[in-house]
Amino acid sequence: MAKNLVLVESPAKARTINRYLGRNYVVEATVGHIRNLPKSKLGVDVDEGFKVKFVTIRGKGDIIKKIRSLSTKSDHIFIATDPDREGEAIALDIAEVVNGKKGANVSRVLFNEITKNGVKRGMDNPRSIDESLVDSQRARRVMDRIIGYQISPLLWRAILEESDNSLSAGRVQSVALRLICERDAEIDAFRATEYWLINGFFGEKAEAFRTRLHSIEGKEIKVPPKPEMSEEDWRKFSAKYAAMPDEKSATEVYDRIKAKKRFEVSDVTKKEQRRKPAPPFITSTLQAEASRALRMRPRQTMRVAQRLYEGVELGKAGSVGLITYMRTDSTRLSSEIVNDAREHIESEYGSKFLPKSGVPYGKKGQNVQDAHEAIRPTSLEYTPERVKEFLDERSFNLYRLIWNRFVASQMTPAILEQTTVEISADEFTFRASGQVTLFEGFMKVYFESEEKEDGAEEPDALPTGLEKGKALPLADLEKKQQFTKPSPRYSESSLIKELESKGIGRPSTYSTIVSTILDRNYVEQRERKLQSTELGRRVNEILVKNFPNIVDVSFTAKMEADLDKIAQGDLEYEAALKDFYYPFAETLEKAEQNMEKILCDKCGGEMTIKIGRYGKFLACTNYPECKNVKSLKDFRKGNDEPEFTGEKCPKCGARAVYRNGRFGRFIGCERYPDCDYLQNITLGVKCPKCEKGEITERKSKKGRSFYGCDQYPDCDYLSWSKPVDKKCPHCDYYFVESKYNSKLGTYLKCPNCNEIVEGES
């Protein structure tokens, strides 16, 4: 029998590690956590130093029994759970399970990469379990449990009609929801300012390049900062800048330019720029870049990265961990891998792409833990091309992204030349800029994608031979109406970036934040943008009103900083939780007093929402004297006043009302269930497939909007694009569809002739 037992979380990780340790070791997987807080109780003794009361997770009994059995036959037990706070907490749970054997020799080992060398380094450097890291994880868990367990019932009470949807509040998710709601409110309140642009096209017709009118009489053209300005503000603005706020002023300038006879190059400026490579990935930048470049959701990115870390079967090579640990906020790299990268770069691309020494990256910012390296390939032996046949498409694309970013991070800067040309005719000056690459440098391997602004125009390439004094013909002139735009809605990528910049959340939490608020139906995703739902806005309003600290960005960032201090041993577990809990308890008490109470119809006492085997229900707080209980469904029937449509039910003559169902809003009879009349709310567009029904908006299980025929299941027409009741001006088709992309923003397109229809939906 083997003398040593190695315990990890994942079976895939166990298989990979088993290859490197030999027959004197048994590697077993716990398949994640083995203990957790109870589902139906708080599980935290606030009066006893916030002591946690864990229970064995249902279904883990056989695994625990097996671990105990193996531990009794092993001389040494190595716990090799993930090298982060969560892994440290799991390690302690395992240690407490196996320490039933007297004198058990238990060590903690860390594998930053699941390779032969990585496993050897970990096994050669065993240590004891870091109680500070465990305390940090426990403190995070307790904060999250207290907030979720004690605020959620207030949400259930405040929004009774949605109580079946598992409403919840969370320490980080609530802040993310607030950011999205505030951005949506900002967009709703935004008042657009009209302005006009004039573009000039210079050169011979076939080769003309676009420029923008930049200044008039030396005054740069600017957009007025407000839709409406006082005469005094306009006077001050006009003294410094020129503007074309309406068609009249633009037409006047346009006609004056048209009358000019000679345009010549008045200035040419060339400026050389050195662009440095981006650092290797950390968790947040990997999720953001995978979202932009690969259209992968954060949770999906982390799931694929986990597989790449734990090990992939590479034919005869067996199971190999292809990347380092994927939950990190450090860009640090080991000297060994930097040297390997330099050899690879010189061999593949030549010495001119190799800096004189390795490019250093490391700890930046007070929140960076620097416990792990950046996310990188474990070995440059396994190029993306070499392992492609063993990976599915998503795994290959993500691995190639990580590989290219890492290799590029050790290459020379790119050298670019920025050229700005000005073309003038008396008081008018047009300007255009262009960029050429003089030396590719790192850009030969990798170039970070950008989240472009809606409707942004790509600059035209500038022709060669532009010299000061050279005359150029005006090939064309156009004036364009524009409107200022509000800040864009958050994408998953930009929300993660915003949370990270504000010190909210940590590498292990980013992927779950967006998923949670989407799953709760607080937010929905439209054209890859996050938009709050009516439910999300109501939840946010309640939280901001009653728990301003919990959803305050700076307060949440301070809690994250306190958790970091606990992990570093600079703050005690109990002290940190006291600082958090007692102000929270006062706020909770005030919120409970202000919240409308549900009174017992038998004794007049207060009813509270509880969770039982079959879900939530109302129970009298005077129990056991009063044992009155009510189902939420029955309570809502007696208290909800549905919105009247103004029409009668065609089936029984009662009022027709709006109702909310699993797949969205619909019209039903107020006498339901005695009368089962229902009607879908349609968009007024005839179904293009069956030509009998009309298109209605529906909701997927994840809250995403889609559009289908109201004759379903007889007609299975389905579209992710919203049909709009408007004729196509190109082919006269009876409807168009609302679509979105990063270049055009929201636009209308005909599904029949595929022509774009002018104007936003």
Q: Which residues are catalytic?
A: 325
Structure tokens that stand for 470 in this block: 């050279």
- CA dist 375 and 383 (Å) reads 15
| Tokens standing for residue 353 | 């792409």
**How far is 101 from 520, CA to CA, in rounded Å?**
44
Report the amino acid identity of residue 756: I
Pairing of strands 756-757, 745-749: antiparallel
Residue 190 bridge partners (DSSP):
none
Q: How many CA atoms lie within 13 A of 477 on its CB side?
A: 16
Burial of residue 146, with CB atoms counted within 10 A of its CB: 0-12 exposed, 13-18 middle, 19 or more buried = buried
Q: In Å, how far are 521, 537, 662, 682 from 700, measured between CA atoms?
A: 10, 20, 9, 17
End-to-end CA distance of the chain: 71
State how far the Cα of 292 lies from the Cα of 283, in Å rounded to an integer: 14
The answer to whether the CB of 516 falls within 8 A of the CB of 523 is: no
| Best CA proximity match to 49, nearest among 441, 573, 507, 413 | 573
Q: Is the link from the previous residue into 624 a cis peptide, with omega within 30 of 0?
A: yes
Contact 212, 197 (CB under 8 A): yes
- Residue with the two structure tokens 């503007």: 243
Distance of CA 554 to the CA centre of its chain: 20
- Dist CA 410 CA 361 (whole Å): 10
Query: Is residue 664 within 8 Å of 524, Cβ to Cβ?
Result: no
Half-sphere exposure of 107 (CA within 13 A, CB side): 15
Q: What angle do CA 603, 149, 84 make, to 5 degrees?
A: 170
CA dihedral 410, 411, 417, 418 (to 10 degrees): -20
For 434, the token pair is 């262009």
Give 500's Cβ-side CA count (13 Å radius): 24
Residue 374's nearest CA partner among 310, 330, 322, 321 is 330
DSSP state of 610: E
User: Strands of 664-669's sheet, edge to edge?
Assistant: 643-648, 655-661, 664-669, 678-680
In angstroms, the Cα distances linking 453 to 2, 189, 581, 736 are 60, 20, 42, 24
DSSP string, 350-381: -GGGS-SSPPP----STT----SPPB-BS-TT
| CA–CA distances in Å: residue 743 to residues 191, 454, 571, 736 | 22, 5, 49, 19
CB 169 within 8 A of CB 146: no
DSSP letter, residue 426? T
User: What stretches of 116-172 show up as alpha helix (H) in DSSP?
Assistant: 116-124, 131-158
- Report the distance separating Cα 483 and Cα 191, nearest Å: 10
